[in-house]
Amino acid sequence: MVTHTSKADVRPTAVVAFDHNEAAAAVGMSPTRLRQHVRCGDLTPHFSGTKPLYLMTDLQEFIAHLPTRPSLLPKI
């Protein structure tokens, strides 16, 4: 017996990447603040065409390397 799966039934088992707004929300900061970190070289997105995508593992590493005390990002 063969069962068919519709597209609605196929779901990823885990999120591996986020778009810019989702990535900002996932790490608890505004999209503007995340963009500042990208400009400073603290985080590098991957691109699908012109859409930036952030790997979950990169976001976790990014957060792990943030200072443990408050600091200011340089103005760009």
pLDDT digits (tens, 9 = 90+) for 18-67: 999 999 999 999 999 999 999 999 999 999 999 999 999 999 999 999 88
Cα–Cα dist 60/76, whole Å: 24
Q: Can you give the pLDDT at residue 22?
A: 96
At 4, the pLDDT band (50, 70, 90 cuts) reads low
Residues forming a β-bridge with 58: none
Which of 48, 52, 50 minimizes the C-alpha distance to 38? 52
Residue pointed to by tokens 């600091």: 71
Of the candidates 68, 61, 56, which has an alpha carbon nearest to the alpha carbon of residue 19? 56
For residues 73 and 37, the answer to whether their CB atoms sit within 8 Å is: yes
In terms of pTM, does the model score above 0.75?
no
- The owner of tokens 């989702």 is 22
